[in-house]
Structure 1
Amino acid sequence: MKDTDSSHARPPGPAATGRYDGPGSETTDAPTESLFGPGSQFHQFFNDPRWALAVVRATVLEAAHPQIGAALVDNSSFVVHPWRRLRNTLVSLQRMYGADEDVRQREAARLNRLHTRFSGTDAKNRPYDAMDPEVRAWVVATLFESSVTMCRLSGQPLDPITMERLYAEFQGFLTALGDQAGHLPPTLPEFWQYYDRMVAEELQNTEALRIILYRLFEHLPAPPLFAGLPTVWATGRALAGPVIGTVTVASLPEVFRRRAGLPEVPGAQTLMQGAYVAARMARALPDNWLQTENVISLLHLSPDGDGPYAETLSTLRGRMRRAGALFRLITPVPSQQDGRRGTGDPADTAGAPGTGGAENLRSAREFFTEVLDQTGDGYLDWPDLAAMARELCSRLDLDEPEETRLYDAFAAWWRELQAALDTDGDGRVSEEEYAAATPSLAGPALIRVAEVLFGVTDADGDQFIDAEEYRALFRRGFGRALVDAQGRYSRAAFVRDFLSFMSGRRRSTPYDPLLSDA
C-alpha cells in the first residue's frame, strides 16, 4: 500500500530470503505439522494483549463490507450484548484452532448452520448472504491482516516465514469450514493486491461501522462483573470509550478513512502507536493474567454467582461501590449503562433478581427492552427471537437435530406473537404494541419453547435437569428453591418457571442473565 500508516512491510513472497533477524522482529521456525493446535502462530496470538486491538480493528473492517454490515444491522445482538458475543466468538475460535480434529469439524458444521440463517436484503434492497464464499473470505482476511498490522504497529513486525505460516493457518480455517480454494489468494503477494483492492473499491461507511465506532464504544453496556456498579462503569467507559474509537480509526487504512469520511483527530496517530506499544509491554505480565479465557471468565462472573471466586468478587465489588461513591462526589456521572438497562443503584433494586413479592414484577416496557429486544432496534421481530435461540444453542453446544428443534420452536412462537401483537401489520412488534397487550402471553407456542428447551437441556433424557445440565444452561449452580428432595429440577418446575419469566414478566435470578446479560 502507498499509505504510510498502513503499509505492511510485506515480504517478497513465498521465495523470500528466509528468516529475518532484524531488530524487533518476531521469528519462529515454520513447523510442518498441523496448522492448528498449540503449536500454531494463531495460538500464540490468542493470549496476546495486542490481539484485543487487532480483533476490534478487524471487526470494523468486516462491518465496512456492505453485505456483512447489512447482516450485522439486521441480525446481530452485538450492540446490546457485546460481551456475550465476544465470549461466544472466542469459544468458537478455541474450538476451531484446537488440536482435536473432531471438535473442529463439529464446530465448523455449527458455524455453517449458524451462517446459513443470515441472509436477506438491506435497506437499499441489496441481497446479503453470510454463506457467500467471498464474504467469508473477507472476514478471515481482516483477521489475518489485522494480526500482521498489530505486530507492525507495536514495533515487532512479522518476519516473512512467520507471516507465511500465519497466512496458511487462516487459509486452513476457511478450508475447515468447507470453502473451496480460490476465495483467498493462494500467495501473500496476491493477498496484498486483493486486500488493497477491497479497501479501495468495496468497503463503505456502513451503518454497522458507524454503530461500532460511535455508539458501541461510547455506550458499551457493563459486563456481568460490573452489574450494579453504574458509576464505576460509566466513569471508566467515559475515559476508555473515546480512546478505543480514536485508536481504531487511526489504525485503519488511510485510503479507507478518506473515502469513508472518518475524522482525523489531532494526535490520533501518536495515541494509536502508544496503545499498541503499551499492549506489547503488557505481555510481560504473569501468564495467568494474560490468558484470554481467564479474562473473559472474570468479566462474566455474576454478582450472585457461586464459583470459587464468589467471596473475592463480593469483596471487590464492595470496594468498587466505595470508589463509585467517591466518583459521584467528585464528578457526577449519569447512572445509566446505555439508556436501556436499569441503573443498578440502590434505588433501582426494587425489582432486582432474588427479591420477592410485588417488587419482583416489572413493566411490559422494561421486559421488552431488557429481554425481548435482543438487537436493540426498538422492535421485536424474528431476528430477536433467533438471537435467543442462537444463544441457547451456543450455551448447550447442540448438534443439528436439537438445534433445529429449538429454532423451529422459537419460529412458531414468533408467528404466534406476530399474529397477536402486530396490530399495524408492518411485520414487527413495537414497544407500544407489546405494552398494550394482555399481561400474560403464555400461548401454546411459548409452552412448546419451554418444553423443547427442557428437552435439549436434559442431555441424559431422565426427565430431570441435574446440576451439570443446569450449569451448562445457566452457567451457575442450582438455587436451593429450584430443586426437589433429590436435588433435581423437574420438567414441570422448569416449564412453570420459564413461562412465569417469559410471559409474566417476573424477574428471575437464573433466567434474567440467560437472555439479558450484556
Structure 2
Amino acid sequence: MEIDFAHPRGAVALTGPDSVSWRIFKNPVGLFIGGVTAVLLELAEPRVRAGVWDHTSFRTDPVTRLRRTGMAAMVTVYAPRETAEAMIAGVNRRHARVTGVTDCGQPYAADDTDLLDWVQATASFGFIHAYHAYVRALTSPERDQAWSEAAPAARLYGAHNAPSSEAEWRAVLAGMSPRLEASPVIREFLQIIRNAPAFPSVARAIQPMLVRAAVDLVPEDLRMKLGLQHDGLSAWERPVVRGMGRAADSLVLESMPAARASVRMGRPPDWLYRAAGPN
C-alpha cells in the first residue's frame, strides 16, 4: 500500500496527534506483541478461527499477512481520515465475501457484527495492554481513553458494539469466555509466528521471546483454558522485553507513519518520541 502519511498538510486522522493511540502505535515492539495476543484471542473463538485460518494467508505467507495487518493499523490511526475510511471500506467489501462453516457445523460470515465486535475488542486489548505492560505504564484513564479512541474506527469496520472502556472489555470477555476453546490451530499459529522472518535477521533471535510476551498478556484463566499456561515469559525475560519496548519507544525513524503523520499535523517528526513530550 502506497500511503502518504505526511500529506495533505493539516488533514486530520480518525484520532488526533495528542491521543493515547498515537503514542501506542508508534512502538514496533508493542505492536508485534499486541498483534500476536489479539490473534490468539481471535483463534480461541471457533467461527473467527475458521474464518482466519481458511480465508487468509497466515499458514502459507505469515509475514506478508502480518505486514498487511500492521499497515492497516497504521492507516487507521495515522493516515488522513479520508484515506483510512477508503481503506476500511475496501476491507469491509472483502469481508462480505468470506463465509463458511466450522468443523463443528457452525456457519460463519466475516461481516457478522458479533464476530466483528470480538475481533475489534481483541485488537484494542492487545495493543493497549502490550504498551502498558512492556513499554510505559498507562493510567486507568489513559487506557479508557485509548479504548474510546478506537471506537470510531471500530464502527467503520462494522463493530458497533465493540468495547470503549476497560470495564466494557471485561464485560465482553466474560460474555465471550464460554465460547472460547483450545485448538490445535492455536499451537500451529504459535509455531508459525515464532519462526516466520518478521524481523530483520539481526533481531530475529528475540522473536520467540516476544511471542511468549504475547502469550503472557492473555488473561490467566483463559491461558489455562487454552493450554498456554507454560508458554509465557520466564521471570528473567520480562524485564528484558520491557527494556526492548522502552528502547523502541525512543527510536525515531522519520520515514515511519508516526513521524510522517506528526509532520502532516505541523509537529516535528520526533514529537511523539520526546521524553518531555506526551510520553
Equivalence map 1:232-311=2 (5 Å): 239-264=205-230, 268-285=234-251, 287-288=252-253, 291=256
Change (3 A) 1:120 1:147: same
Change (3 A) 1:251 1:191: closer
Q: State the one-letter code of the partner of 1:259.
A: K
Distance, in Å, in 1 between the alignment partners of 2:32 and 2:96 is 28
Structure 2: stretches of 5+ with no match in the other structure: 1-11, 260-279
For the residue of structure 2 that corresponds to 1:120, the secondary structure is strand
- Aligned-CA RMSD value: 3.1
Q: State the one-letter code of the partner of 1:275.
A: V
- The answer for the alignment partner of 2:53 in structure 1 is 73
Change (3 A) 1:251 1:102: closer
- The answer for the alignment partner of 2:173 in structure 1 is 195
Provide, for residues 27-62 of structure 1, a one-character-per-residue CA deviation record: whole Å limited to 9, x for no partner. xxxxxx975243432222222132221122122212
Moved over 6 A (4+): none
Aligned pairs, how many? 247
Q: State the one-letter code of the partner of 1:88.
A: R
Distance, in Å, in 2 between the alignment partners of 1:172 and 1:43 is 15
Which residue, out of 17, 27, 32, partners 1:38?
17
Q: Give the CA deviation at 1:122.
A: 1.7
Q: State the one-letter code of the partner of 1:142.
A: T
Distance, in Å, in 1 between the alignment partners of 2:233 and 2:83 is 46
Q: State the one-letter code of the partner of 1:45.
A: I
Q: TM-score, normalised by structure 2?
A: 0.75
Identity within the alignment, %: 23
C-alpha contact (below 8 Å) 1:62/1:68 kept by paired residues: yes
Which residue, out of 84, 96, 113, partners 1:104?
84
Change (3 A) 1:274 1:291: same
Change (3 A) 1:162 1:95: same
Q: Give the CA deviation at 1:273.
A: 4.4
Equivalence map 1:87-236=2 (5 Å): 87-98=67-78, 100-154=80-134, 156-180=136-160, 183-185=161-163, 187-198=165-176, 200-218=177-195, 220=196, 222=197
Provide, for residues 380-403 of structure 1, a one-character-per-residue CA deviation record: whole Å limited to 9, x for no partner. xxxxxxxxxxxxxxxxxxxxxxxx
Equivalence map 1:395-414=2 (5 Å): none
Which residue, out of 17, 20, 27, partners 1:48?
27
For the residue of structure 1 that corresponds to 2:142, the secondary structure is helix
Q: TM-score, normalised by structure 1?
A: 0.43
Equivalence map 1:460-479=2 (5 Å): none
Distance, in Å, in 2 between the alignment partners of 1:66 and 1:81 is 22
For the residue of structure 1 that corresponds to 2:85, the secondary structure is helix
Structure 1: stretches of 5+ with no match in the other structure: 1-32, 227-232, 295-518
Provide, for residues 97-137 of structure 1, a one-character-per-residue CA deviation record: whole Å limited to 9, x for no partner. 34533222211210111111211012222212111111111
Q: Give the CA deviation at 1:265.
A: 5.5
Q: Give the CA deviation at 1:289.
A: 7.4
Between Structure 1 and Structure 2, whose CA radius of gyration is higher?
A: 1
